[in-house]
Amino acid sequence: MSEFVFNAFVTLLVVVDPLGLAPIFVGLTRGRSAGYRREAAIRGTMLGAAILFLFAFVGQTLLGALGIGFPAFRIAGGALLFLLSLDMIFGRPSGVRRTGEEGEELADEGGADDVSVFPLAVPLIAGPGSLTTVLLYTGGGGTLEVAAFLGVLLVVLLMTLTSLLLAPHVLKVFGETGADVLARVLGVLLAALAVQFVLDGIKESFAL
């Protein structure tokens, strides 16, 4: 169980990336009041959490309705997380992430009056990577494993909220360079976990 909890924590920490959200959030809310930033951080995190927890309970049913077996989803989900890990390792823009510069451009253009829904809640918090992770960890486990995963998910979401609320201070402490180095290290860990998901899916598919 301890290994399951640790792997779940690392995967969620890498995919949601609370520290990496700090510079993006600062860019999105540049020129806004401190009160708005606080409300946007809380609202965005709560919306993202609601989507992720809902997906944890109905995601498996959705797969069944679509006729998708869980081993196939393990392979596809592992491949998706592996691609995300490569983006993190090589510092490339990802389809489930916006860079700090892109966030600032959105704020400059006035592209969204309320950034808490888009892009904060979706896709930054509840994006393809995090939704895939939720299904991978809740689909094949028992009640105890699912409960443990939901507890880990709650912890990571609280870390995310804290990072957003303290975003300006987080940037001062770590800086963009520090956040970039941490993202690359965590990307390597995510790559290893993603490969394991693919191998597990292959084993289940062929009953190895």
25, burial (CB in 10 Å: exposed 0-12, middle 13-18, buried 19+): buried
Query: Which tens digits make up the pLDDT trace of 130-179?
Result: 999 999 999 877 899 999 999 999 999 999 999 999 998 877 787 777 77
Structural domain spans, the chain? 2-205
How many CA atoms lie within 13 Å of 136's alpha carbon, on the beta-carbon side? 31
pLDDT given at position 152: 98
Among 126, 129, 175, 155, CA closest to 26: 175
Among 164, 199, 205, 169, CA closest to 40: 164
d(CA 103, CA 168): 15
Query: Which tens digits make up the pLDDT trace of 62-94?
Result: 888 999 888 888 899 899 889 988 988 887 765
As assigned by CATH, the class of the 2-205 domain is mainly alpha
Among 100, 122, 83, 86, CA closest to 19: 100
- Provide the whole-model pTM: 0.79
Q: Decide which of 40 and 102 is more confident.
A: 40
